[in-house]
């Protein structure tokens, strides 16, 4: 049976669910197809960082757009998603790093971005009292924070469904093709058809793009996280490092989430990952050195989520370079969670209006096909 | 206790209960480099806990079955295997790499074969009030009895069903402990349902021992059969136990309530390693998918003992030998000729398993003791009630892993050991699906918590070490 919809979205991560929700708000009736369940992979198991801090300039406008939605997230999805805004702090471990941060903030200011703010050692210790004395300063983005990723993705899915999106979970999208001017996707015994196709399939999106004639340099990664038993509250903001891989966040219940980008071995076709404990050991060492208070904590669980990383570490976002009605929204390279709400809003504008006021040019898929990438305008 | 002597072994056996001791004795006896890792202070596992150290020395108290463990423990000790107690295996992956913690330090070791013999744990018994101080599992009580000779002296009620319940009651009484009442929750319908399996049971080793034990308990303690409702109550600690049996409804004052409704495989390590499990409709739990030699879906990982499906201590010994034989056949084919023929091992296993089907059916716990209602706690770590779970199902939680996003169940230190089966069955019932369709928590290392400082002190990665050496 062929079922015609306004749009087909492949992938039930935060991006696919957010796009489904925003298409519904624009009056469309999309179908979202998710091979496992919404939030099964990176969107449900990431660190939950809601971060504008330390982003590539090309994605800052999208990040800022998203931040505005995060700050009123309950108005959109009827759930506060556990979002808390205590800022995010990039800690400089030495003067060399601090000098680089100073130059970065100056550059952002020159471009008109003011969300990143250079701080000295005194302000760093006011924000993060437990940090090691040797750290001379850092950068803060005060509106940043963290949310609960699985809860958030689920809330977007639920609201999209309430607004009229068809959500199909547990069946993979197959045989993606364009026939008679419509995109068609087989889902079990049924075929969905729509003028619009959004490729938001995360680690699986590269295959879809390639099958449709748009191969891009993408790899599958599985960033690892671990969480500890409760520790007496000692830190409010999320802390990240630049030189060594670490991100660090304490929840209200005292548990501490430790991440930062060390990778597990992904077994994508089995939906499995094998953790690299030697790398997690490095994270544990870094934490012990920066926060002595953590040494007696116990690690209760570690995991990794499968996702896509682009060669240049920024996502593919926007219309296809070669097909009408095809849009890409993938390759968020381990920092896509915060972008989800805004990306869905912008994607709906692209689909419905054919354009957006949010500057996303630098994220276009054309950057991999054109000899000289178009500047981000 | 010291760390493993080598970085690589032919066979690593995890757990020193009946299956693990038997597997160790066989594998090391055939000349394979064998490491046995066990969490407890000495060999024996749960069934033979403290076999080499118990203060309860009068043989009749713990029974002949208990003391039969000593022989196997000696065989393993003398087999040439390296045996490390108080060792916690906190990680195992499909590349057969193990993370093991001994004496506050951790190490990684590689194995060519891993035999998981981590046994069973008690099925959750989620009745109203089961989290009150003063309510404990029969298994925990038995641990205290075997390790320290401690028995209850306050007003004590034992409730539930299954062989271990009667064994514990008998052991407590023999040591002069107090039991005021036994509340037997075996559903009356189970006696009829089990009848087709009765012949095999009547000719099994269980029957005489089981009947004798029940007679021994009945002679000293009033036993209420056919209990269909059970609740513990008290303000801050247990004060009373209420039950319904037929038309009888009674509330008994109590200081201690011991609960037990059977054991289920301890699946955490195997599941975290990626071993496929399926819902077992007769034992009402997850059991690993295994071939006749105990090999799992992960190449190189075998499972023996109650972790392979509840079979009891004697079956565990045979399964341990069979799994070890398969490892020997793969790694040292020349040594196989000296072993017992496989047919003899399989015959031994079949004999030990005779009567198990009868016990499985007879002691299937009633639905109301597996699938709680209302404000009965399901997840102790996060204090989530049955109604909380149903509310989450109503707004879109489809399985245990999705439920984590709503309620954080299974995310505490117990990693679902105390709530997993309850959550699966509760969600299956609410959604009109089978437990197999609903699934189980995805389990993750560390299977047991590890100190951050211990993790930080791990040997550096190979690349990092090499870089230092070159520098």
ipTM field: 0.88
Smallest Cβ–Cβ distance between A277 and the set B99, B404, B406 belongs to B99
**Alpha-carbon distance A282 to nearest alpha carbon in chain B (angstroms):** 6
Which band of pLDDT confidence, cut at 50, 70 and 90, is reported for residue B469? very low
Q: What angle do CA B98, B101, B104 make, to 5 degrees?
A: 160
For a pLDDT cut of 70, what percent of chain B falls above it?
A: 97
pLDDT of residue B466 exceeding 50: no
Is A150 within 8 Å of B402 when comparing Cβ atoms? yes
In chain A, which residues have their Cβ closer than 8 Å to the Cβ of B431?
Answer: none
Q: CA A310 from chain center: how many Å? A: 13
Query: How far is Cα of residue A234 from the mean position of the Cα atoms in its chain?
Result: 27
Mean pLDDT (whole number) for A38-44: 93
Q: Give the pLDDT confidence score for residue B464 in this predicted structure.
A: 46
Percent share of chain B, pLDDT over 90: 73
Q: Do A301 and B462 touch (CB under 8 A)?
A: no
pLDDT higher than 80, residue B62 = no
Q: How confident is the model at residue B281 (pLDDT cuts 50, 70, 90)?
A: very high
Cβ–Cβ below 8 Å for A298 and B449: yes
Interfacial residues of A (vs B; Cβ cutoff 8 Å): 37, 39-40, 44, 148, 150-151, 153-154, 157-158, 161, 169, 227-229, 270, 272, 274-275, 277-282, 284-285, 287-288, 294-303
Question: Radius of gyration of chain A from Cα atoms?
Answer: 21
Numbered ranges of CATH 3.50.50.60 in chain B:
8-121+264-339, 124-261
Per-residue pLDDT tens digits for B94-141: 999 999 999 999 999 999 999 999 999 999 999 999 999 999 999 889
Residue B461 reports pLDDT greater than 60? no
Residue A261 has pLDDT above 60, yes or no: yes
Continuous H helices in B63-186: 64-67, 69-77, 138-148, 163-174
Burial of residue B471, with CB atoms counted within 10 A of its CB: 0-12 exposed, 13-18 middle, 19 or more buried: exposed
Chain A CB contacts of B397 below 8 Å: 154
Cβ-based contacts of A337 with chain B (< 8 Å): none
Give B47→chain A minimum CA distance, Å.
28
pLDDT of residue B206: 72
Domain B124-261 of CATH type 3.30.365.10:
no
Residues of A in contact with B445 (CB under 8 A): 275, 277, 301-302
B30 or A293: whose pLDDT is higher? Answer: B30
**Prediction pTM value:** 0.92
Q: Provide the 3-class DSSP secondary structure of residue B471.
A: coil
Pairing of strands A196-199, A7-10: parallel
Q: Nearest C-alpha of chain B: how many angstroms from A337?
A: 15
Residues B382-400: tens digit of each pLDDT: 899 999 999 999 988 899 9
User: How far apart are the C-alpha atoms of A340 and A346, rounded to whole Å?
Assistant: 10
- Hey, how many other C-beta atoms are within 10 angstroms of the C-beta on A110? 8
* B353 pLDDT more than 70: yes
Angle at B261 between CA B52 and CA B91, to 5 degrees: 60
Instruction: Look at residue B465 and tell me whether its pLDDT is greater than 50.
Output: no
pLDDT tops 90 at residue A50: yes
Residue B471's pLDDT is 34
Pairing status of strand B248-253 against strand B240-245? antiparallel
CA B85 to chain centre: 18
Which domains can be identified in chain A, with CATH numbers? 2-69+149-217+311-367 (3.50.50.60), 85-143+221-309 (3.30.9.10)
Tell whether the model's pLDDT for residue B146 goes beyond 90: no
Question: Within a 10 A sphere around the Cβ of A96, how many other Cβ atoms?
Answer: 11
> What is the Cα–Cα distance from B452 to B106, expressed in whole angstroms?
11
Chain B residues in contact with A272 (beta carbon < 8 A): 94, 274
CATH number of this structure's domain B371-438, picked from the four choices 1.10.3720.10, 1.10.287.810, 1.10.10.1100, 3.40.710.10: 1.10.10.1100
* Residues of chain B with C-beta less than 8 angstroms from the C-beta of A279: 461
Q: What is the largest CA-CA distance in chain A?
A: 66
Interfacial residues of B (vs A; Cβ cutoff 8 Å): 91, 93-95, 99, 108, 274, 395-399, 401-402, 404-406, 411-413, 415, 444-446, 449-453, 455-456, 458-462, 464
For residue B67, name the pLDDT band (cuts at 50, 70, 90): confident
Task: Tell me the HSE value of B272 on the side-chain side, using a 13 A CA sphere.
Answer: 28
Q: Which of B108, B405, B449 sits opposite A300 (nearest CB)?
A: B449
pLDDT band for B1, please (50, 70, 90 cuts): low
Residues 6+ apart with CB under 8 A from B464: A278, A282
DSSP string, B13-62: EE--SHHHHHHHHHHHHTT--EEEE-SSSSS-TTTTTTTTT-S---HHHH
Q: Determine the distance from the C-alpha atom of residue A120 to the mean position of all C-alpha atoms in its chain, rounded to a whole number.
A: 29
Q: How confident is the model at residue A305 (pLDDT cuts 50, 70, 90)?
A: very high
Please judge whether A229 and B406 are an interchain contact, meaning their C-beta atoms are less than 8 angstroms apart: no
Chain A CB contacts of B411 below 8 Å: 227, 301
* Out of A249-263, A291-305, B122-136, B195-209, least confident range: B195-209
The reported pLDDT for the residue numbered A376 is 45
CATH class of the B8-121+264-339 domain in this structure: alpha beta
pLDDT in tens, A111-161: 999 999 999 999 999 999 988 899 999 999 999 999 999 999 999 999 999
pLDDT-derived band at A97 (thresholds 50, 70, 90) equals very high
- First-to-last C-alpha distance (Å) of chain A: 43
Interface-testing mutation among A226, A231, A281, with chain B (most B C-beta atoms within 10 A)? A281
Contacts of B415 in chain A (CB under 8 A): 300-301
Structure tokens at A353: 């209006």
User: Between residues B259 and B468, which one has the greater pLDDT?
Assistant: B259
- Give per-residue burial for A336-345: e unless 16+ CB within 10 Å, then b: bbbbbbbbbb
Phi-psi region of A21 (alpha: psi -120 to 50; beta: other; left: phi over 0): alpha
pLDDT at A352: 98
Q: What sections of B232-278 are H helices per DSSP?
A: 268-272
């Amino acid at each position: 049976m062929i079922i015609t919809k306004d749009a087909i979205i492949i992938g039930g991560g935060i991006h696919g669910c957010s796009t489904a929700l925003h298409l519904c708000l624009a009056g469309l009736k999309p179908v979202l197809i998710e091979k496992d369940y919404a939030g099964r992979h990176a969107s449900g198991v990431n660190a939950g960082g809601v971060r504008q801090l330390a982003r590539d300039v090309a994605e800052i406008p999208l990040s800022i757009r998203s931040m505005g939605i995060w700050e009123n997230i309950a108005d959109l999805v009827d759930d506060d998603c556990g979002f808390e805004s205590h800022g995010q702090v990039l800690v400089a471990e030495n003067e060399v790093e601090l000098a680089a941060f100073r130059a970065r903030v100056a550059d952002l200011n020159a471009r008109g971005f003011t969300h990143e703010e250079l701080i000295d050692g005194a302000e760093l210790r006011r924000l993060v009292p437990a940090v090691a004395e040797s750290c001379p300063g850092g950068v803060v983005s005060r509106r940043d924070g963290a949310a609960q990723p699985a809860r958030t993705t689920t809330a977007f899915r639920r609201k999209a469904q309430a607004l009229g999106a068809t959500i199909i979970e547990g069946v993979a999208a197959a045989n993606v093709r364009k026939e008679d001017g419509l995109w068609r996707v087989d889902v079990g015994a049924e075929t969905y058809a729509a003028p619009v196709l959004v490729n938001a399939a995360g680690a699986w999106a590269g295959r879809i793009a390639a099958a449709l004639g748009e191969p891009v340099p993408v790899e599958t990664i599985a960033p690892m996280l671990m969480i500890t038993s409760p520790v007496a509250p000692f830190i409010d903001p999320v802390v990240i490092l630049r030189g060594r891989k670490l991100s660090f966040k304490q929840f209200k219940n005292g548990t501490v989430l430790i991440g930062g980008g060390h990778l597990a071995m992904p077994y994508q076709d089995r939906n499995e990952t094998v953790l690299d404990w030697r790398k997690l050991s490095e994270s544990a060492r870094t934490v012990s050195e920066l926060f002595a208070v953590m040494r007696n904590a116990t690690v209760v669980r570690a995991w990794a989520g499968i996702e896509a990383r682009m060669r240049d570490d920024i996502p593919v976002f926007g219309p296809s370079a070669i097909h009408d009605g095809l849009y890409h929204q993938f390759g968020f390279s381990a920092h896509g969670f915060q972008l989800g709400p805004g990306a869905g809003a912008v994607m709906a504008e692209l689909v419905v209006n054919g354009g957006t006021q949010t500057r996303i040019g630098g994220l276009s898929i054309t950057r991999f096909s054109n000899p000289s990438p178009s500047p981000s305008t | 206790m010291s760390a493993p002597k080598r970085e690589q072994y032919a066979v690593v056996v995890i757990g020193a209960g009946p299956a693990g001791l038997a597997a160790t004795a066989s594998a090391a006896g055939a000349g394979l480099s064998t490491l046995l890792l066990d969490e407890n202070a000495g060999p024996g596992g749960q069934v033979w806990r403290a076999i080499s150290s118990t203060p309860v020395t009068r043989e009749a108290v713990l029974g002949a079955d208990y003391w039969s463990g000593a022989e196997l423990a000696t065989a393993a000790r003398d087999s040439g295997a390296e045996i490390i107690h108080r060792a916690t295996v906190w990680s195992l992956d499909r590349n057969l790499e193990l993370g093991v913690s001994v004496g506050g330090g951790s190490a990684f070791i590689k194995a060519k074969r891993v035999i998981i013999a981590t046994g069973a744990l008690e099925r959750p018994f989620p009745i109203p009030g089961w989290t009150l101080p003063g309510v404990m599992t029969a298994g925990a009580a038995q641990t205290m009895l075997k390790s320290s000779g401690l028995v209850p002296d306050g007003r004590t009620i034992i409730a539930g069903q299954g062989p271990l319940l009667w064994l514990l009651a008998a052991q407590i009484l023999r040591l002069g402990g107090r039991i005021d009442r036994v509340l037997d929750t075996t559903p009356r319908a189970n006696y009829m349902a089990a009848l087709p399996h009765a012949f095999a049971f009547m000719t099994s080793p269980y029957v005489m021992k089981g009947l004798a034990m029940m007679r021994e308990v009945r002679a000293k303690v009033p036993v209420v059969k056919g209990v269909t409702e059970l609740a513990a109550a008290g303000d801050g600690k247990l004060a009373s136990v209420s039950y319904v049996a037929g038309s009888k409804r009674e509330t008994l004052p109590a200081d201690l309530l011991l609960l037990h409704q059977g054991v289920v495989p301890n699946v955490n390590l195997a599941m975290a390693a990626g071993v496929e499990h399926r819902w077992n409709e007769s034992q009402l739990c997850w059991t690993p998918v295994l071939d006749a030699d105990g090999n799992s879906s992960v190449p190189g990982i075998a499972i023996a003992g109650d972790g392979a499906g509840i079979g009891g201590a004697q079956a565990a010994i045979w399964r341990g030998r069979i799994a070890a034989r398969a490892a020997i056949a793969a790694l040292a084919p020349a040594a196989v000729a000296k072993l017992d023929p496989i047919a003899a091992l399989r015959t031994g296993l079949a004999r030990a398993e005779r009567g198990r089907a009868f016990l499985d059916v007879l002691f299937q716990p009633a639905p109301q003791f597996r699938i709680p209602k209302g404000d009965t706690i399901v997840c102790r770590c996060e204090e989530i009630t049955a109604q909380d779970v149903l509310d989450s199902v109503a707004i879109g939680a489809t399985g245990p892993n999705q439920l984590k996003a709503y309620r954080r169940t299974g995310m505490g230190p117990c990693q679902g050991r105390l709530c997993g089966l309850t959550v699966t069955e509760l969600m299956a019932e609410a959604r009109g699906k089978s437990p197999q369709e609903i699934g189980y928590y995805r389990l993750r290392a560390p299977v047991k918590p590890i100190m951050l400082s211990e993790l930080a002190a791990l040997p550096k990665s190979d690349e990092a070490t090499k870089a230092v050496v070159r520098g």
